[in-house]
């Protein structure tokens, strides 16, 4: 959550943060959860 807050409001910065978080989740938790996170995050960013 902190990474998203620190990235600011720039769309490109949020996309990069989303990808970094996806990679971290994939490596530390689970690939399926990481993909769910990326899909939901991408859907939210597409609404802007």
Task: Give the per-residue pLDDT at 46.
Answer: 93
pLDDT at 16: 92
Q: Which of 11-15, 17-21, 33-37 is modeled with the greatest confidence?
A: 33-37
Q: What is the torsional sign of CA 1, 21, 33, 30?
A: negative
> Where do the structural domains in the chain lie, given as residue ranges?
2-46
CA distance 20 to 2: 12
The mean per-residue pLDDT over the stretch 2-28 comes to 87
* Cα-based distances in Å from 10 to 7, 35, 36: 8, 22, 22
Structure tokens at 26: 């994939």
What value does the CA radius of gyration of the chain take, rounded to a whole number of Å?
10
Q: What percent of the chain has pLDDT over 70?
A: 92
More confident residue, 19 or 2: 19
Q: What is the mean pLDDT of residues 11-32?
A: 94
């Amino acid at each position: 959550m902190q990474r998203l807050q620190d990235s600011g409001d720039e769309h490109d910065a949020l996309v990069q943060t989303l990808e970094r978080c996806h990679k971290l989740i994939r490596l530390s938790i689970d690939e399926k959860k990481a993909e769910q996170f990326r899909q939901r995050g991408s859907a939210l960013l597409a609404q802007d």
